[in-house]
Amino acid sequence: MKNKTILIKNADFLITMDGHRREIRDGGLFARDGFIEQVGPSSELPETADEVIDLKGHIVLPGLINTHHHFYQTLTRAVPAAQDVNLFHWLKTLYPIWARMTPEDIRISTKTALSELALSGCTTASDHLYLFPNGSKLDDEIEAASEIGLRLHASRGSMSLGESKGGLPPDSVVDDEEYILKDSLRLIQRYHDPKPGSKVQIVLAPCSPFSVTGELMAQSAILAREYGVQLHTHLAETQDEEAFCLEKFGYRPLGYMQSLDWVGNDVWFAHSVHINKEEIQVYAHEGCGVAHCPSSNMRLGSGAAPIMDFIKAGVKVGIGVDGSASNDGSHLLAEARQAMLLARLRAGLMGASLSGEDSELLFTARQSLELATIGGASVLGRKDIGSLEVGKCADFIAINLNRLEFTGALHDPVAAILFCQPVNVDLNIVHGEIIVKDQQMVNFDLQKLIFDHNNAASKLLSD
């Protein structure tokens, strides 16, 4: 319907994340065709619209943005042999299982991950699909995602450096480089939409320094820049990776990226845990973004990324739940909480005093929320999402404050949603369209999806 309007009003608190970080009491917003036309106190907004939602008793926030995921891994959560091992062993355990996936597995897992994300407050998700077994294509993910309705930044991942050439993955899951580049171009031409309000963007994302060749990385960067799409990869996740890069390429991971022209405003790296002071300055100077994945880094024992140092240096930082085999969930609000807690643990371990005048060293709930909203938007190169401002997309979430989890914390509802037990959201709206209402996916049979997903997962593990 053209010219469709939506009005939300009477929210106890509306958190804008605008330049002034306004937190409006008794607030609301008015949007037309998916874009915000007015934000402010309810009394200053139009009286009616095609859809009117009264949010008394709720806090309203910009939709959360996920900057790193592997949706397909929802099929292999908590696999026994991969529970208690570090990244390289975890990957070697899971590669052969992932090699059995079908296009239908990609579709089912995409819907599962996006449902979890939507219920946890996410309105834009980046995903990194880097193996395409048994005829799978990125198209399977993009088509399945359109059924859920979140914005998708679909990263066309790739692996080309198999074991026989000194890489980590078995040769059975790596692809021919000429084909990877041809398919990347096809996907950009078919799906990439750079316009404001875009629902699908394509990203080129060779998987990691230990699973692709430098030549593929360099060629991917040339192609991405020709078409104005972003570049993404895993970087500086573990000490194993650092040792691999030093031995094989003679560089630390970031130095290797610099040698391949893989730095710039159009590049964001997942993890960036093992990064030194000089390298943080390179990120800041070049404009590289970081997808911070605290749960995964703890789960795999990888370490704790220097998030506060990145932020102090002016580096763009967003939050990623990472793949569901190393989290093993896709709850974005919970991940923002983990980011806050891990930054505090790291500060403590680095010797910062946790009391008195040094207490400003602690990472705050509002800082963490910034990463999950405007931080994520800047990492993904988007100016049209991440805050509730006139002209931006009508992507927002609402959480009912009258619940057990927040009891006793309502003197600061913003802090409550980060400090208290993470909850699912009551309302999730993307581009003015309702995705979640009353903590339920609308127009979508979640019970059937859970049934299909469990069947697909058990088949994958028993084959």
Query: Which residue ranges make up the site for Zn ion (CB under 5 A)?
Result: 322
**Helix or strand or coil: residue 122?**
strand
Q: Which of 197, 65, 64, 186 is nearest to 132 (CA)?
A: 186
Q: Which of 212, 209, 283 is nearest to 253 (CA)?
A: 209
Strand partners, 267: 231
Q: How far is the CB of 309 from Zn ion (least distance, A)?
A: 22
> Based on CB atoms, which residue is closest to Zn ion, 70 or 392?
70
Q: How far is the CB of 158 from Zn ion (least distance, A)?
A: 14
Tokens of 184: 């990347």
> Based on CB atoms, which residue is closest to Zn ion, 22 or 299?
299
User: Measured between alpha carbons, how far is 177 from 89 in angstroms, rounded to an integer?
Assistant: 25
Q: How far is the CB of 68 from Zn ion (least distance, A)?
A: 6
Residue nearest to Zn ion (CB): 322
Q: How far is the CB of 130 from Zn ion (least distance, A)?
A: 9
User: Measured between alpha carbons, how far is 72 from 109 in angstroms, rounded to an integer?
Assistant: 5
Q: How far is the CB of 149 from Zn ion (least distance, A)?
A: 24
Taking each helix axis from N to C end, the angle separating 214-227 and 177-191, rounded to the nearest 10 degrees, works out to 20
User: Measured between alpha carbons, how far is 440 from 248 in angstroms, rounded to an integer?
Assistant: 49
> Based on CB atoms, which residue is closest to Zn ion, 70 or 192?
70
Q: How far is the CB of 211 from Zn ion (least distance, A)?
A: 11
C-alpha gyration radius of the chain? 21
- Contacts of 389 by beta carbon, 8 Å cutoff, 6+ apart: 16, 18, 36, 39
> Based on CB atoms, which residue is closest to Zn ion, 67 or 184?
67
**Helix or strand or coil: residue 336?**
helix
> Based on CB atoms, which residue is closest to Zn ion, 322 or 328?
322
Q: How far is the CB of 312 from Zn ion (least distance, A)?
A: 25
Torsion of CA 94, 95, 96, 102, to 10 degrees: 100
Tokens of 277: 């002071």
The answer to whether 57 touches 13, Cβ cutoff 8 Å, is no
> Based on CB atoms, which residue is closest to Zn ion, 141 or 322?
322
Q: Where is 176: in which H helix or E strand?
A: none
> Based on CB atoms, which residue is closest to Zn ion, 266 or 322?
322
Tokens of 379: 């990492």
Q: How far is the CB of 294 from Zn ion (least distance, A)?
A: 13
User: Measured between alpha carbons, how far is 350 from 197 in angstroms, rounded to an integer?
Assistant: 42
Tokens of 429: 């709206």
Q: What angle do CA 260, 262, 266 make, to 5 degrees?
A: 155
Q: Cα 145 to chain center, whole Å?
A: 14
> Based on CB atoms, which residue is closest to Zn ion, 183 or 322?
322
Q: Where is 61: in which H helix or E strand?
A: strand 58-62
> Based on CB atoms, which residue is closest to Zn ion, 242 or 322?
322
Q: How far is the CB of 24 from Zn ion (least distance, A)?
A: 36
Q: How far is the CB of 159 from Zn ion (least distance, A)?
A: 13
> Based on CB atoms, which residue is closest to Zn ion, 322 or 395?
322
